Amino acid sequence: MASLKDIKKRISSVKNTQQITKAMKMVSAAKLRRAQEAAVSARPYAEKLQQVLFNLARREEVDAHPLLVQRGKGRALILLITADRGLCGGFTANVSKAAERFIRENVQGFDAIDLMITGRKGKEFLRSRVGDNIVKVHENLGANLNYKTASLLGQEIVRSFEDETYDAVYLIYNAFESAISQIVTLEQLLPIKAETTPEIEGNATDYIYEPNRPEVLSQILPKMVDVQIFRGLLESNASEHGARMAAMDSASRNAAEMIGKLTLQYNRARQAAITTELMEIISGSESVK
């Protein structure tokens, strides 16, 4: 049985841990509010632009622009958005497992599937699982998250598609639903293909191109890739803070429960020690008599 001193040290250690988890929860809660506002405010623009692009893709020939060309199943690239820091529950594991599952399920469909990862934790999680597929890792993007960052990633991906390094590009990230719920999302970035939904069918529009069709397409199609990546980064950022806040709240409650159990154990041990001392005193008193 542990001594009173050992139990007291454990209680003190758990209390210190609880203070840290509570502080981290408060920090994540403050960051979550800003990140959630940014993610939610970006959705209407991204969704409207996507609707316009789908309408354009339905009306254009596949050779109207390189980003519309369906080249079949050659090499594929997955842009996987993960976290740079841990202590956020299953945030990174869930999205990384989705990427691993996609690779395993489609390994026969493509000549090769490469991974471009944002976030150190995603690299660490997948290094031992599909390490050979990882071609590039971007770290600490969340420290200065802005549209320029997404645009640089988008330009890199568009170049690799136009150069025919890759024939298909996918985006996997955690979409923000609430502080305790994130949805693993898989989207095809390239080639841009038409999708038919009741909303798109009901808003079918003919477009007049100014100054001309090639120039409009050359501007708006790459921008669509940038916007999708930026939205994915914002959604993932909000999801990460929500997941970390929930994880730290759970850790704080677990610490409180552990402190209660250790305190009960301490009191019982202390009571047993006092009882033992009393018995010794009584025994000594009886022996003197």
Domain containing 110 — which CATH number? 3.40.1380.10
With a cut of 80, say whether residue 282 has pLDDT above it: no
Please give the residue range of the domain that contains residue 222: 38-242
Classify residue 180: in a domain, yes or no. Answer: yes
Question: Average of pLDDT values for 168-191?
Answer: 93
Local confidence band at 63 (pLDDT 50, 70, 90 cut-offs): low
How many domains does the chain divide into? 1
Classify residue 157: in a domain, yes or no. Answer: yes
Burial class (CB in 10 A: 0-12, 13-18, 19+), 264: exposed
pLDDT at 195: 62
Q: Kindly report, residue by residue over 265-276, the tens digit of the pLDDT.
A: 999 888 888 888
Look at 246 and 284; give whichever has higher pLDDT. 246
Question: Average of pLDDT values for 126-155?
Answer: 90
With a cut of 70, say whether residue 216 has pLDDT above it: yes
Q: Which residues pair with 78 in a beta bridge?
A: 115, 170
DSSP 3-state of 138? strand
Q: Answer whether the bond into residue 214 is a cis peptide, omega within 30°.
A: no
Question: Average of pLDDT values for 240-257?
Answer: 95
Is residue 182 within a helix (H) or strand (E), and if so which, with residue range? Answer: strand 181-190
* 111 within 8 A of 74, measured Cβ to Cβ: yes
Four-point Cα dihedral 99, 131, 110, 105, nearest 10: -40
With a cut of 80, say whether residue 96 has pLDDT above it: yes
Annotation marks residue 88 as catalytic = yes
Question: What is the model's pTM?
Answer: 0.86
Question: Average of pLDDT values for 112-128?
Answer: 94
pLDDT at 247: 94
The first and second tokens of residue 83, run together, are 């976290």
Classify residue 15: in a domain, yes or no. Answer: no
Classify residue 214: in a domain, yes or no. Answer: yes
Classify residue 259: in a domain, yes or no. Answer: no
Which residue in 7, 39, 67, 88 is the catalytic one?
88
* 103 within 8 A of 113, measured Cβ to Cβ: yes
- Residue type at 251? A
Look at 246 and 195; give whichever has higher pLDDT. 246
Classify residue 10: in a domain, yes or no. Answer: no
Burial class (CB in 10 A: 0-12, 13-18, 19+), 153: buried
Question: What is the Cα–Cα distance from 84 to 237, expressed in whole angstroms?
Answer: 10
Classify residue 69: in a domain, yes or no. Answer: yes
pLDDT at 132: 87
